[in-house]
Amino acid sequence: MRRVLGTLYIQVLIGIVLGLLVGALWPEFGASLKPLGDAFIKLIKMVIAPVIFCTVALGIAQMGDIKKFGRIGGKALIYFEVVTTLALVIGLVVGEVIRPGAGFNIDPTTLDTTAVATYAKRAEADSVTEHLLNIIPDTFFSAFTGGDLLQVLLVAILFGFACTQIGETGRQVAGWLDKIVAVFFRIIHTIVWLAPIGAFGAMAFTIGRYGLGSLVPLASLIMCFYITCFLFVAVVLGLIARLVGFSLWKFLSYIREELLITLGASSSEPALPKMIEKLTRLGTPPAVAGLVIPTGYSFNLDGTSIYLTLAILFLAQATNTDLSLMEMVTILMVAMLTSKGASGITGAGFVTLAATLSVVPAIPMVALATIVGIDRFMSECRAITNIIGNGVATLAVARWEGELDMERLNSELNRR
């Protein structure tokens, strides 16, 4: 028993269950525990930027082949676009077939707009042009403090390219980066043991603040979304995993700690450094893992993609708004862009939903107030689906490039 309780994923699971009970039985006290979850996420985010920078820059410096790096990046972007577009289409199809919003008969004029005013304002400010410009940091070092993973990825790529151009000096710098990466991963191993406390605080806050009762009126949407995500993971990602040559279920067991951390924190960012480490251990070259995973956090959000189209159709049905085929195509095309602008942080999916909804005037923006109360519960499923999708994507791109050590992959999965 002591050995079982000593494993991290069991401790995280216990923290989640205790948080759920505390939030349900003592809502005010549970809501006051939010700083525990926030502190854990901040500790992890503190080391995410340097880990990504060192991993990507080191991979490029050791690779020494700019064309190869561009080829890997191109394959990753192709994979992201195909799979996320499929997720968007699945969300539309499920929304049309199941029609989870039918019968709500919501009058938009009766809704409280203050609940969505902040999200709508952020959505309007974050245009496609602004999002692209924001990838470029104001200074080299501001990329590490701004919280935007794409900025870190950009400076890491430039730094790595520079190392390949300066011969022996570049190889010496790569050696230093290798040692620095080892230090940061040791820091992560220390911080991650606080995950049970963070998961406890985050879950207690979620249940205490929003309450299980808030799930009842919109249970049809929640169940529809969760089942759709489960089927997407089982069927679509399961098929991709089979084509790559590994068992999806063994892979999910292998990353169970990261999945529970994501569930407890309602965000996939805290699990990012550990995912890079585990994918490398599974036989993925560090350069591939360091490039695909961080890029996927903005460009390969399968759960967010399903949520976008499904939630928009729910709001249309709930407000009795009839959408034409052309409007549905417009939603799909716009969502293909906006879904690439969300990061792994909590609430980013809702901002992306507001940005997508802003280009469909037929659906009133105030309708977002209908689902703002349950977004935290939806966020957990989005984050878990996203992190699974990025893990599978990394292994798929590595196999596509011929860089995946299949013997090591299956040996690790079977051993676990």
Domains of the chain, residue spans: 2-415
pLDDT digits (tens, 9 = 90+) for 367-403: 777 777 677 778 888 889 999 999 999 999 999 988 8
Confidence at residue 396, expressed as pLDDT on a 0 to 100 scale = 95
Evaluate whether 18 touches 198 at the Cβ level (below 8 Å): no
Report the C-alpha gap between 49 and 41 in whole angstroms.
Answer: 13
Is pTM, for the whole model, over 0.75?
yes
Confidence at residue 344, expressed as pLDDT on a 0 to 100 scale = 45
- Average pLDDT estimate for 91-109: 82
Confidence at residue 261, expressed as pLDDT on a 0 to 100 scale = 85
> What mean pLDDT is reported for the chain?
82
Q: Tell me the fold of 2-415.
A: Proton glutamate symport protein (1.10.3860)
Confidence at residue 79, expressed as pLDDT on a 0 to 100 scale = 94
Report the C-alpha gap between 56 and 276 in whole angstroms.
Answer: 11
- Average pLDDT estimate for 21-41: 86
Could you tell me which residues come within 8 angstroms of residue 297 by beta carbon, excluding any fewer than 6 positions away? 149, 268, 269, 272, 343, 344, 386, 390
- Average pLDDT estimate for 130-151: 77
Task: Give 43 or 227, the one with higher predicted confidence.
Answer: 227
Backbone angles phi, psi at 157, to 5 degrees: -65, -45
pLDDT digits (tens, 9 = 90+) for 233-269: 999 999 999 999 999 999 999 998 889 888 877 778 7
Cα Rg of the chain, angstroms? 21
Could you tell me which residues come within 8 angstroms of residue 195 by beta carbon, excluding any fewer than 6 positions away? 8, 11, 12, 15, 40, 257, 260, 261, 264, 270
What are the helix (H) ranges across 266-320?
272-281, 286-299, 302-318
Confidence at residue 233, expressed as pLDDT on a 0 to 100 scale = 95
Residue 222 has pLDDT above 70, yes or no: yes
Residue 111 has pLDDT above 50, yes or no: yes
pLDDT digits (tens, 9 = 90+) for 149-186: 778 888 888 898 888 888 888 888 888 888 888 888 88
Confidence of residue 72 (pLDDT cuts 50, 70, 90): confident
By percentage, how much of the chain surpasses pLDDT 70? Answer: 86
